[in-house]
Amino acid sequence: MADGPTITTIAERAGVSIASVSRVLNGLPTRQETVRKVMAAADELGYVRNAVARSLKSRRTHQVAFAMADVGNPAYLAMLREIQPVLKAAGYRLVLHSTDAVVADEIDVLHSLGERYVDGLIMSPLRVTEQHLEMLAAARAPVVIIGSVPEGTRADNVRADSRTGVRLAIDHLYALGRRRIGMINGPLDTVPGAARGAAYREALADLGLPYDEDLVRIGDFYRAEGGRAVAELLDRVPDVDALMCANDLIALGALDVLRAAGKRVPADVAVVGMDDTDLAAASWPALTSVSLGSAERGKAAAELLLDRLQGGDREPRVVTVPPRLVVRASTAGTAGAGTVHDDAGRTERKEGGA
Amino acid sequence: MADGPTITTIAERAGVSIASVSRVLNGLPTRQETVRKVMAAADELGYVRNAVARSLKSRRTHQVAFAMADVGNPAYLAMLREIQPVLKAAGYRLVLHSTDAVVADEIDVLHSLGERYVDGLIMSPLRVTEQHLEMLAAARAPVVIIGSVPEGTRADNVRADSRTGVRLAIDHLYALGRRRIGMINGPLDTVPGAARGAAYREALADLGLPYDEDLVRIGDFYRAEGGRAVAELLDRVPDVDALMCANDLIALGALDVLRAAGKRVPADVAVVGMDDTDLAAASWPALTSVSLGSAERGKAAAELLLDRLQGGDREPRVVTVPPRLVVRASTAGTAGAGTVHDDAGRTERKEGGA
């Protein structure tokens, strides 16, 4: 035992085969009794089995990181729910970062890839800066970006298509006969705010509807402020007949204010949210919402990363997940009392993708 | 360069000081230009800076794991939201496991502590078995359990108090004059189902109300089945005047069915949910719900673990987080149209703790 305990000495002490010791130490399925004997022998001999030492040999950590902007945001949580099981099934542990969408934090995460504590990274930045691109070019491990990146970026990329999403919603409202369709947006200096605002304007133009500034109000992405923006819009355009809201929280604020104003939803005003969070089905009337496919994007990102980890070098790939409109009572249902929604409370009617 | 690149050879190649190289390689704040030079030189020289090699020296991984039962469950996500920033602030990375509440998966996670890939673990098992206790006794790293554990368990422990939580709700309904208070529960062979059912029975007894089997219906913990259980209860006891629901999803199902039956909430039937998820404030009428302090439990667990990692040996500690009743329109509000709820839609009135 000059060199300290080995699997041979542990096998002797435990009274089991060397193969059994190897199985236990590598975490392979083994009878509980054998596990106990081997662990006890290893303890007695002072054996330190160490993932760290093992990964020094293989240069693999069997860990993958997911850097999400905000651990409290349902859209990212929907991604996480899909990423976690895909990685687990492939034998990877998940390291979770929350960057609060602070660029310096995101750069730190990319920088830390040099420490080799993970084999790869999935990242969801709100904005991709020059600094991101530099760090991506120098990254020491494969990175998949969820979000839009400039042409030629050296990273696999999974995109949503909020423009088509807004378009699906406006077309739906138009098909229902609505012609005074308002937009309640978040700040225009955010990526989602700018994209959704532009998409609204385009969709109206394509339908031959005039763009009316009084029909557009800007708040933030939360319920109370969204409600206040709706109240303002109602003051200016009392006969507004539909509201496109830039996310579900804003749409909940819209329902609050419309209820207070004695407006029926959808008879007087139809309401559409965006992101299709769990809140959409919980509200009453249940909220029609544009799904940007958070779950699908998470799954696609995990699969791209695994493919890269297993397959090695190839050209970067771009996957675009098409949006879909989940139609519920706030636009098309029977809004009065009397309807028991089935299952998760959804009266789902899916309309085509991109 | 017989021994490969070192920080000295990197400093020479990059044309910067050794101190600068050290700062960059240790991830300390450094001018972006310097970072770029050092990374380029390190790359050219084939230097592999390795968290793995570093942690071999210090025997610290600076990682902590959180094993949650279900990555999709809002109660665990509320814990995660608090655990993540506490650990991040202390310089720890978070490794996330989702065990689906499968005992074998939880045992695997405890077993894998022997691999030293984390410095500590926070775990939230639905049930603590003999096997858990054995593995906890042998654990190679500190463990904090969120949930109830037997007396004498060698682990720090953070507990909720659902019994007091149910009690707060029943007392609230009683104070509102309700006397035919129904209970819609999940399966009685789950820990939460059993605890909540027993607490309901006790609370009635203490108030001198009779226990009536027709007032108790068992479904699962989801909306549709919860709704069906409510419909059954309404058939048997048409004049039920309050419903205690074992979680918020069941309560949403109750609102669906009561609306369909033409019952006013809360005028005819007051409804209380449990867990105080985001869904409670999103529903209409907004749902009174018992908070079991998921966020607070997550925070307490992270702090206990950090204390243990920094302070070393001490006796195991038990922290019990008191429940609170968050009163909204489904029991005490003005249920008619006309109320704009403020902020997150909450008309919050907090009632005492344990």
Say yes or no for a CB contact (<8 Å) between B223 and A343. yes
The answer for residues whose C-beta is within 8 angstroms of residue B6's C-beta and 6 or more apart is none
- Residue A190, token pair as written in the block: 């955010």
Strand runs (DSSP E) across chain A, as ranges? 63-68, 93-98, 120-123, 143-146, 156-159, 181-185, 216-218, 242-245, 270-274, 288-291, 318-320, 324-326, 350-351
Minimal Cα–Cα distance from B224 to chain A, Å?
Answer: 5
Q: What is the reported pLDDT for B332?
A: 85
* CB of B285 closer than 8 Å to CB of B63: no
Tokens 């760290």 correspond to A52
Q: Which residues in chain B touch residue A96, judged by CB atoms under 8 angstroms apart?
A: 80, 84, 94-96
Q: Are A140 and A151 in contact (CB under 8 A)?
A: no
CA A6 distance to own-chain centroid: 45
pLDDT digits (tens, 9 = 90+) for B56-86: 445 688 899 999 988 878 889 999 999 999 9
- Does B96 contact A at CB distance below 8 Å? yes
Residue found by looking up tokens 């920033």 in the block: B85
Is residue B197 within 8 A of residue B216, CB to CB? The reply is yes
Q: Find the closest chain B residue to A104 by CA distance.
A: B29
Interatomic CA distance for residues A63 and A68, integer angstroms: 16
Q: Are A300 and A232 in contact (CB under 8 A)?
A: no
For residue A180, give the 3-state DSSP assignment. Answer: coil
> Residue B174 region, left (φ>0) first, then alpha (ψ -120 to 50), else beta?
alpha
- Residue A88 contacts B, CB cutoff 8 Å: yes
Nearest residue of chain B to residue A254 (CA atoms): B340
Low-confidence ranges of chain A (pLDDT < 50): 1-2, 52-57, 334-354
Contact B93 A95 (CB under 8 A): yes
List of residues 6+ apart from A333 with CB closer than 8 A: A266, A285, A286, A339, A347
Q: Do A279 and B284 touch (CB under 8 A)?
A: no
Residue B283 is nearest to which of A111, A138, A283, comparing CB atoms? A283
Among A215, A198, A208, A204, smallest CA distance to A163 is for A198
- From the CA of A342, how many Å to the nearest CA of chain B? 7
Q: Which residue of B has its CA nearest to A87?
A: B97
Environment class of A111 (CB within 10 Å of its CB; exposed 0-12, middle 13-18, buried 19+):
middle
d(CA A115, CA A140): 9
ipTM: 0.74
Q: How many CB pairs under 8 A join A and B?
A: 166
Gap between the Cα atoms of B10 and B195, Å rounded = 62
Q: Are A24 and A31 in contact (CB under 8 A)?
A: no
Q: Which residues of chain B have pLDDT under 70?
A: 1-4, 23, 25-30, 32, 47-59, 333-354
Residue A9's Cβ-count burial label (10 Å; 0-12, 13-18, 19+) is middle
DSSP structure class, residue A147: S
CB-CB contact of A118 with A95 (8 Å) = yes
Contact A91, A62 (CB under 8 A): yes
* Distance (Å, whole) CA A229 – CA A218: 6
Is A85 touching B (CB cutoff 8 A)?
A: yes
Q: How many residues does chain A have?
A: 354
CB contacts, 8 Å: A111 with chain B: 27, 35
**């949210």: which residue's tokens?**
A273
Residue B6: CB atoms within 10 A of its CB come to 14
The tokens of B212 are what?
């009536």
Q: What is the reported pLDDT for B336?
A: 38
Identify residue B124 by its one-letter amino acid code.
S
CA distances from residue A99 to A127, A190, B166 in whole angstroms, order as listed: 12, 17, 37
User: What are the residues whose beta carbons fall under 8 Å from the beta carbon of B208, sequence distance 6 or more?
Assistant: none
Give the residue carrying structure tokens 């979000």. A147
Instruction: Walk me through the domains of chain B, giving residue ranges and CATH numbers.
Output: 7-49 (no CATH), 60-159+295-323 (3.40.50.2300), 162-287+328-351 (3.40.50.2300)
CB–CB of A94 and B93 under 8 A?
Answer: no
pLDDT, one tens digit per residue, over A113-143 is 988 889 999 999 878 888 999 899 888 899 9
Rounded to an integer, what distance in angstroms lies between the CA atom of residue A98 and that of residue A69? Answer: 6
